[in-house]
Amino acid sequence: MATLLRSAVLNPEGYRTVRAAGGNAPSKPPSFSSLAPRLDSLNGKTIYLVDTGFGGSGKFLDQVQAWFAERMPSVKTVRRRKTGNIFRDDTKDLWAEIKENGQAAILGVAG
Amino acid sequence: MADDRRFHGVPLRFIYTPHPVAGMPPSVLRGYIEGKDPATQRTVIEEVIEAITKPVSEDEFTGDFAPISRTGVRQTLLEPDTEDNLQRLFYERGWIDGLPIILPTEERVAEMLTGTNRAADEVVAEIFLHDTQEYLTFTVEMVAIIGVMAGARPEHLPVLLAVASTGHPSIPGSTTPFACMLLVNGPIRNEIEMNSGIGAFSPRNLANSVIGRAWTLLTINWGYMRLRKQFWTSQGNPIGYNNMCVAENEERSAWEPFHVQKKFRPEESVVSLFRGWSFVNNVVGSSHRSVGNDMLLQLSALPGLFSAATLILDPLVARHLKENEGFRTKLDFCRWISENFKMPAGQFWGTDLIHMMMAPLADQGVEPYASWKKLPPDALIAPYDKPENINIVVVGGETSPMWKVADFAYAVSAPVDKWRAKPVTDGCTDGTCGLPDEP
């Protein structure tokens, strides 16, 4: 018959704590009014398809673009790659361009 | 992804496709678009259109940013049980690598703690868990527990604490097969009888084996091996069992030790960590080509990401390069590699990893990448343009002039001496003497 260990065995897990609610998240939820209004229709609109640069994102958005061309040809799609490295901050140029020339943007993350 | 959105305070609508996306053919990707979102079972493209057209309600993201009320709860002692049952418990809880462990009893952990002068409850590292938004606090005692589990002895503990203090996992969360190397320099190598000589990377030496294993057990208990949370690597990498834990053969090396290159003093003990994916072995020697030219061929199989490579040379090779080919220092040889390695621009940019990580630099006009991007595919470039990012480590037993060429980048070094049981007597008791000055 197996015998119990004479000595207590310790748990190897660390202490889990949440130092601040939501980490870097703001203490208050983002303001609803700060969000861009949604479009009532996509007809005739320009949608940016933004490749984040992460694996497969560009190829996936190629297919999204092809889908819109076939199924919703009235939608103009513009493919762009995020200007910064996937893990780093961007320059603001692309976001300014989208604000100027587009009505919506879809970001592809992939992996 | 949703947790990351919350962490960064970004109110975005996310839609999921099946995974993986990278490397899948167009027909599969098209199927993802017209198929179901695995999270909602709704058609992906319909959700995409809805995300752009459906008005945002005032409370849509409120739940995402609600305060989290979890607090630290940890059962320090496990329920008494038999050896077999506890071994099974450790495995089933996902605390170990699948190999049997030494159970960390109170006595064994107390004995392990004699290997350091630090208090058991001193915090060594804080690890952030992205998927649960938690900070994991790791104390000296927890590192000692891991050391016992890995089969380490008290004299190994200062090295384990130095590794833990970096917070660097040996198996980072990624779908890629990351691999790491753990290098020890300085007097402690010999004090704890690490192997830097014959068969140093082979499973033969206790200290190399248990210290390398302990890094992975740390990584596991830091939360990096939870399936489909942090642990996504499709094939994995067997290097993760031991992490190429080794000491540099400083006594037989023709060049200065690695830690001295990093501005530590020779008499300091230091761990250095490297990260990459792959290495290529030289198998016999190099009698038909120069050593350097053989290495250039082997490097052509590696991506050249940010100019990073690590050359692990037997002392015979280092001595040959210095005495017969005139490379006075490690950096001299790295400069030769940097100047002489050439790769077609098309091969470089055609590597997905390079496209993902370095193409943005070219697009932003950073040189030389911007110029390389404009070249025809068959134009030759020198992607190891930063010789300081090429590392050389001397390891081996001089039974044959062997080497390994790895894509490993240098990550970090950490002092060992401050974690010792007894202070070293050279006046460097806090272990920071050799650290570069703050900028």
**What is this model's ipTM?**
0.86
Chain B residues with beta carbon closer than 8 angstroms to that of A41? 53
Query: By the 8 A CB rule, do B15 and B47 touch?
Result: yes
Query: Which of B24, B71, B145 is the closest to A56 by Cβ?
Result: B24
Nearest to B300 by CA among B356, B340, B355: B340
pLDDT score of B85: 95
Is residue B65 within 8 A of residue B9, CB to CB? The reply is: yes
**Contact yes or no for B189/B196 (Cβ under 8 A):** yes
Please write the tens of the pLDDT for every residue from A85-110: 887 767 788 889 999 999 999 999 88
**Which chain B residues are Cβ-neighbours of A25 within 8 angstroms?**
6-9, 65
pLDDT digits (tens, 9 = 90+) for B292-341: 999 999 999 999 999 999 999 999 999 999 999 999 999 999 999 999 99
Which of B101-105, B221-225, B255-259, B425-429 is the least confident region? B425-429
**Hey, which residues 19-58 in chain B have their CB within 8 Å of chain A?**
19-24, 26, 29-30, 32-34, 45, 48-49, 52-58
Cβ of B202 under 8 Å from any chain A Cβ?
no
Cβ–Cβ under 8 Å, residues B160 and B147: yes
Q: Does A80 touch chain B (CB under 8 A)?
A: no
Nearest residue of chain A to residue B176 (CA atoms): A111
From the list A30, A39, A84, which residue is nearest B61 (CB)?
A30
CB contact under 8 A, A82 and B83: no
**Other CB atoms within 10 A of residue B25 CB:** 9
- Which of A63, A75, A107, A109 should we substitute to test contact with B (largest number of B Cβ atoms within 10 Å)? A63
Distance (Å, rounded) from C-alpha B144 to C-alpha B152? Answer: 9
Distance CA B96, CA B54 (A): 47
- Beta strands B390-394 and B309-313, pairing class: parallel
User: Which residues of chain B lie closer than 8 angstroms to A35, CB-CB?
Assistant: 11, 56
Cα angle B208, B212, B217; round to 5: 145
Distance between B337 CA and the closest CA of chain A, angstroms: 27
Q: How far is B173 from chain A (nearest CA, A)?
A: 12
Locate the chain A residue with the closest alpha carbon to B55: A38
Q: With beta carbons under 8 A apart, name residues in chain B contacting A81.
A: 359-360, 363
Which residues in chain A have their CB less than 8 angstroms from residue B26's CB?
59, 62-63
Give the global pTM.
0.89
Contact B356 A16 (CB under 8 A): no
Mean pLDDT of B116-139: 87
Average pLDDT over residues A25-31: 56
Report domain extents, chain A: 60-111
- pLDDT tens-place string over residues A66-83: 999 999 999 999 999 988
| Confidence at residue B63, expressed as pLDDT on a 0 to 100 scale | 66
The CB density around residue B252, as the number of other CB atoms within 10 Å, is: 18
CB contact under 8 A, B175 and A111: yes
Residue in chain A nearest B234 by alpha carbon? A111
How many residues belong to chain B? 439
Q: Give domain limits for chain B.
A: 2-65, 76-244
* CA distances, A103 to each of A78, B71, B342, B433 (Å): 11, 43, 45, 57
Q: Residues 264..323 of B with a Cβ closer than 8 Å to A: which?
A: none
Q: Are B309 and B384 in contact (CB under 8 A)?
A: yes
Asked if B148 and B126 count as a contact pair (C-beta separation under 8 A), the reply is no
Which tens digit of pLDDT belongs to each residue from B133-189? 778 889 999 999 999 999 999 999 999 999 999 999 999 988 899 999 999 999 999
